[in-house]
Amino acid sequence: MRAPKHCGFTIHRTLLLGVALAALIETSGCETLKVYPGPPRSANEIATLVLPFYDAGFPGLRVHQIDNMPVSSAVTSFALLPATHEILISCGYSQQLVTEHSYGRERLRFHAKAGHVYKVRTRVRQGRCMMWVEDKVSQETVSEPIARCGRCSPAVSAHRQLKSCAAAMARRGRRLAWVPV
């Protein structure tokens, strides 16, 4: 007996696709990008910066640079050495995974302490995105804005941005490594 068809797929295939998609979503974001030289360090020797997850990508936060070094826009967790860091963040949303609309970019400075986890927070008000970094445990704001633009033009395409980041990293002779934390 054959399984009933549903939109050109069998129900069995649809279920398998759903399970695979759920597994992909579950595992994405489990990796932390190591943004410092040398071997991996323990969690009590580094600081971790995390981006919140918002359903449907609104408002979506993306880190573009940490200490003037481009980072992958797909990463939501970063391992940092204890020090003062500057990050460039944008706030916006995507439509149909192609068109990106930006509410603004902001460059923030914050001092990261070993063993602490920091979360980027945001609030959209009157078409402008307010962003800051806070300690995840104490919920204390630890960042200060350096530069901000209110309403920005739509972001460049993801493909163009990745090519640009790859070229910039190659010029600097740097590679960012993925390490589980």
Tokens in use for 84? 């003062």
Cβ atoms within 10 Å, residue 177: 12
Give the dihedral sign, CA 131/133/135/137: positive
Residue 55 carries which DSSP code? G
67-88: pLDDT as tens digits: 999 998 778 899 999 999 999 9
pLDDT at position 95, please? 58
Using the predicted structure, report yes or no on whether residue 60 has a pLDDT greater than 90.
Answer: no
Alpha helix locations (H) across the chain?
11-27, 158-172
The dihedral built from the CA positions of residue 16, 20, 22 and 26, taken in this order, carries a sign that is positive
Could you report the per-residue pLDDT of 121-142, keeping only the tens digit for each?
Answer: 988 777 777 889 999 999 999 9
Pairing of strands 77-80, 47-50: antiparallel
Torsion angle of C-alpha atoms 154, 158, 163, 164, degrees rounded to 10: 30
